[in-house]
Amino acid sequence: MAVLKLEKVNKSFGSFKAVNDVSFEVKEGTVFGLLGPNGAGKTTTIRMITNILIADKGNITLFGEPVKSLHQNRIGYLPEERGLYKKIKVIDQLIYFGQLKGMSRANAKSTAQKWLKNLDASDWANKKIQELSKGMQQKVQFISTILHNPDILILDEPFSGFDPINVETLKKIILDLKEEGKTILLSTHVMEQVEQLCEEIVLINKGTVVLNGNVRDIKKNYGRDNILIEFEGDDSFINDLHGVKFINRSKNRVEFNLNETGLSSKDILNIALDKQVEIYRFELMEPSLNEIFIDVVTNLVNGNE
């Protein structure tokens, strides 16, 4: 069942069309990636989903009915622009946000204390936001998003400001929430995190959907055209490969795309062996989501749709 559905949604600001006929749907209990370069229309789309902005045209349905203000208590929205009150204590702020979402003061306080403990942040409860680091503030903002136990979470760049340890903690929480049946709409620039968390994605560029579907299927459709070689010896054989599009290259490791070479993977292997290179790893790989993202956007910029 689709928890969220957009059908030919449009939004303009004066003569500028920020969102142009955008359509996609998010299934219940999934992590869905909303992707695109800066200025693509992602935040405008999110603001229409959360009823902050009203679409000029098209339909947005949430929980099977047109999106409306009554849905706010079922949504947890983490905006890219953080919105904490700098001079208010953490616990008081979380209680306030919980009450805004319909929680009693006692329930908001106990739930906030639980989440602060889960995120190893109990010691911050009576500190003012301005006394916290950016990463600590981000944890508080995230707690305020999930405090009222929403049915759908909309997270705009949720990993910004986190160190690698806290990124892993947040990813685990997102996956735990998914297992509980929550639906998560995730907007991020970090494609590695999208691959790890999202089952389906939509890629928007200049307000228009340019890629939409299951992550596994998208990668499969792009083919296994990348070669990874780890080796010991003379790397000059790499220079003899014409039309190679390098993804990564170092002294004893190279990853490149095979498409433009006119060679097969067997040809590449034979060329390396002819140079007396000792090969430790030779792998034909699918492109990463990051490569697909760059390829799609670059082709659009260059007019190669």
pLDDT digits 0-9 by tens, 285-298: 777 888 888 888 88
Q: What is the mean pLDDT of residues 71-90?
A: 89
The C-alpha angle with vertex 173 and arms to 220 and 202, in degrees rounded to 5, equals 35
Instruction: Identify the pLDDT of residue 227.
Output: 87
User: Could you give the count of Cα atoms lying within 13 Å of 229 in the half-sphere of its Cβ?
Assistant: 27
Q: Determine the pLDDT at residue 286.
A: 79
SS3 assignment for the chain: CEEEEEEEEEEEECCEEEEEEEEEEEECCCEEEEECCCCCCHHHHHHHHCCCCCCCEEEEEECCEECCHHHHHHEEEECCCCCCCCCCEHHHHHHHHHHHCCCCHHHHHHHHHHHHHHCCCHHHCCCEHHHCCHHHHHHHHHHHHHCCCCCEEEEECCCCCCCHHHHHHHHHHHHHHHHCCCEEEEECCCHHHHHHHCCEEEEEECCEEEEEEEHHHHHHHCCCCEEEEEEECCHHHHHHCCCCEEEEEECCEEEEECCCCCCCHHHHHHHHHHCCCEEEEEEEECCCHHHHHHHHHHHHHCCCC
> Domains in the chain, start-ordered, CATH in brackets?
2-212 (3.40.50.300), 224-285 (3.30.70)
CA distance 146 to 153: 8
Residue 305 pLDDT greater than 60, yes or no: no
pLDDT digit string, tens, across residues 40-69:
899 999 999 999 999 999 999 999 999 988
Following CA atoms 232, 235, 241, 247 in sequence, which dihedral angle do they give, to the nearest 10 degrees? 80
Q: What pLDDT, on the 0 to 100 scale, is given for residue 48?
A: 96
Check whether 304 has a pLDDT greater than 70: no
**What's residue 274's pLDDT?**
82
Give the pair of three-digit tokens for residue 48.
């229409």
pLDDT (mean) for 74-99: 91
Calculate helix-pair angle for 90-100, 105-118, nearest 10 degrees. 130
Of 176, 167, 214, the C-alpha closest to 195 is: 214
Q: What is the maximal distance between C-alpha atoms in the chain?
A: 74
Q: For the residues 147-155, what does the mean pLDDT come to? A: 96
**pLDDT value for 234:** 82
CB count in 10 Å sphere of residue 238:
19
Label each residue of 89-155 as H, E or C. Answer: EHHHHHHHHHHHCCCCHHHHHHHHHHHHHHCCCHHHCCCEHHHCCHHHHHHHHHHHHHCCCCCEEEE
Look at 270 and 200; give whichever has higher pLDDT: 200
Judged by average pLDDT, the poorest of 23-32, 175-184, 185-194 is: 185-194
Q: In what order do the strands lie in the sheet with 253-257?
A: 245-250, 253-257, 226-232, 278-285
Mean pLDDT for all residues in the chain: 89
Q: What's the pLDDT tens digit per position in 1-11?
A: 899 999 999 99
Instruction: Report the range of poorest mean pLDDT among 93-97, 164-168, 239-243, 246-250.
Output: 239-243
- Per-residue pLDDT for 258 more than 80? no
pLDDT band at 303 (very low <50, low <70, confident <90, very high): low
What does the pLDDT average to over 128-154? Answer: 93
Q: In percent, how much of the chain has pLDDT > 90?
A: 56
